[in-house]
């Protein structure tokens, strides 16, 4: 089993498009599973031309919110007065009610409530985990969060665990990470054997690339770079290439700006199918072939591009509890 994570730091630079084309290409010769690890804005199913039909969907809950037990509530209003999030309101019948969307589960209300058991803490629906099979022969594992529910490394871990349950020894798991370098991205990269970093030639994306590269160095992961829309700003694209060379990142390819990509997304057909002869399709397929070549020569590639030393870290001090 080999796990590759596609990350970029900055959003909207083409992670999902690159992931999709890599997965479709690899799936011709290998067993592939794709994980869409961006539960805030899941889009892999849309890029792959799938609707909202899932083979299975299961509720996912991890947030705790307060609920007021109406029968026990004496309507003193203490909870409403102290709630830092103003999540408690009085409904038309005069009952105190917690709005679960606003509640953060901080328990301030239950601390001040004079009646035992009138405010309980319970799990609320965070979102859905789901799986479907694509017509490219690989399954897609995805998640969807309810509005306002926080994304988390735990949810990404659940998705990756589902993928591993379905995987064989020779399966390639492609994890399309969310933007940023936070908890969910750490979770997307953790345990991955390699990373593919996507950047576009803008100062914002270049900066984000360096930040996410710190994470892959931390994990001692070999990483490769794809520059998307490189011809929008050839100067910065060249700077990114220099950065990649100087930092031992494998340069997988440069994809030109090409309106066949947004057009294909509107059509919900992967660009390599909708416009196979477009410059972007050709460049993306070349990137995917390079990834195939990496897998074919895995050990030598791994040895060559593995970071020589891990990213230095800043100190965190934890003391034993109870001391």
Partner 1 sequence: MRIAFATEENRGLNSVVSSRFGRARYFIIVDYEGGEVKSYRVEVNPGSEARSGAGIKAVQKLINEGVNVAVAGSFGPNAMTALGEMGIRHVGMSGITVEEALNRLKNQL
Compare residues 172 and 215 and give the one whose CB is closer to partner 1. 215
Compare residues 16 and 216 and give the one whose CB is closer to partner 1. 216
Alpha-carbon distances, residue 11 vs 6, 7, 65, 212, 288 (angstroms): 12, 9, 30, 12, 21
Among 41, 73, 190, 267, binds partner 1 (CB under 8 A): 190
CB atoms within 10 A of CB 148: 12
Alpha helices in 35-193 (DSSP H): 44-47, 78-82, 108-112, 153-166, 183-189
Instruction: Name, in order, each residue with C-beta under 8 angstroms of 258's C-beta and a sequence gap of 6 or more.
Output: 278, 279, 280, 281
Binding mask 241-260 for partner 1 (x = CB under 8 A): --------------------
Do 177 and 208 meet the contact criterion of CB atoms below 8 Å apart?
no
State the minimum distance, in angstroms, from the CB of residue 154 to partner 1.
5
Compare residues 218 and 290 and give the one whose CB is closer to partner 1. 218
Compare residues 43 and 61 and give the one whose CB is closer to partner 1. 61
State the minimum distance, in angstroms, from the CB of residue 221 to partner 1.
8
CA distance 60 to 213: 31
Long-range contacts (CB closer than 8 Å, 24 or more residues apart) made by 130-134: 130/54, 130/55, 130/56, 130/57, 130/58, 131/54, 131/55, 131/56, 131/162, 132/45, 132/50, 132/53, 132/54, 132/55, 133/55, 134/34, 134/48, 134/50
Among 219, 222, 227, 261, binds partner 1 (CB under 8 A): 219
Compare residues 12 and 59 and give the one whose CB is closer to partner 1. 59
Among 154, 210, 263, 290, binds partner 1 (CB under 8 A): 154
Using alpha carbons, select from 158, 79, 63, 153 the residue that is nearest to residue 114: 79
Confirm or reject binding of residue 170 to partner 1 (CB under 8 A). no
Confirm or reject binding of residue 316 to partner 1 (CB under 8 A). yes
Q: Which of residues 31-90 bind partner 1 (CB under 8 A)?
A: 62-63
Compare residues 128 and 261 and give the one whose CB is closer to partner 1. 128
Among 11, 49, 191, 256, binds partner 1 (CB under 8 A): 191
Confirm or reject binding of residue 166 to partner 1 (CB under 8 A). no
CA distance 126 to 283: 38
Confirm or reject binding of residue 320 to partner 1 (CB under 8 A). yes
State the minimum distance, in angstroms, from the CB of residue 315 to partner 1.
6
Among 51, 93, 94, 313, binds partner 1 (CB under 8 A): 313
Confirm or reject binding of residue 152 to partner 1 (CB under 8 A). yes
Confirm or reject binding of residue 315 to partner 1 (CB under 8 A). yes
CA distance 106 to 65: 8
Binding residues for partner 1, rule: CB under 8 A, are: 3, 62-63, 150, 152-154, 157, 161, 183, 186-187, 190-191, 215, 218-220, 310-311, 313-321
């Amino acid at each position: 089993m080999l796990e590759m994570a596609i990350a970029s730091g900055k959003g909207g630079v083409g992670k999902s498009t690159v992931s999709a084309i890599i997965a479709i290409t690899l799936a011709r010769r290998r067993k592939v599973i794709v994980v869409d690890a961006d539960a805030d804005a899941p889009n892999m199913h849309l890029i792959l031309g799938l609707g909202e039909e899932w083979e299975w969907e299961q509720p996912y809950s991890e947030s705790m919110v307060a609920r007021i037990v109406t029968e026990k509530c004496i309507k003193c209003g203490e909870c409403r007065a102290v709630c830092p999030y103003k999540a408690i309101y009085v409904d038309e019948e005069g009952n105190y009610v917690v709005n679960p969307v606003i509640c953060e589960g901080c328990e301030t209300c239950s601390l001040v409530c004079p009646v035992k058991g009138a405010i309980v803490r319970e799990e609320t629906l965070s979102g859905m985990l789901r799986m479907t099979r694509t017509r490219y022969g690989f399954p897609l594992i995805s998640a969807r969060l309810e509005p306002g529910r926080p994304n988390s490394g735990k949810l990404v871990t659940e998705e990756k665990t589902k993928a591993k349950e379905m995987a064989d020894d020779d399966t390639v798991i492609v994890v399309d990470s969310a933007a940023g370098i936070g908890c969910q991205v750490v979770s997307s990269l953790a345990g991955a054997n390699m990373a593919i970093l996507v950047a576009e030639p803008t100062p914002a994306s270049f900066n984000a690339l360096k930040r996410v590269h710190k994470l892959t160095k931390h994990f001692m992961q070999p990483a490769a770079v794809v520059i998307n829309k490189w011809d929008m700003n050839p100067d910065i694209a060249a700077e990114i290439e220099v950065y990649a060379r100087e930092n031992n990142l494998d340069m997988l390819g440069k994809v030109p700006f090409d309106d066949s990509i947004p057009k294909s997304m509107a059509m919900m057909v992967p660009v390599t199918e909708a416009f196979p002869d477009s410059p972007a399709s050709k460049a993306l397929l070349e990137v995917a072939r390079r990834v195939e070549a990496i897998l074919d020569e895995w050990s030598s590639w791994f040895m060559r591009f593995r970071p020589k030393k891990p990213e230095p870290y800043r100190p965190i001090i934890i003391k034993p509890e109870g001391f």
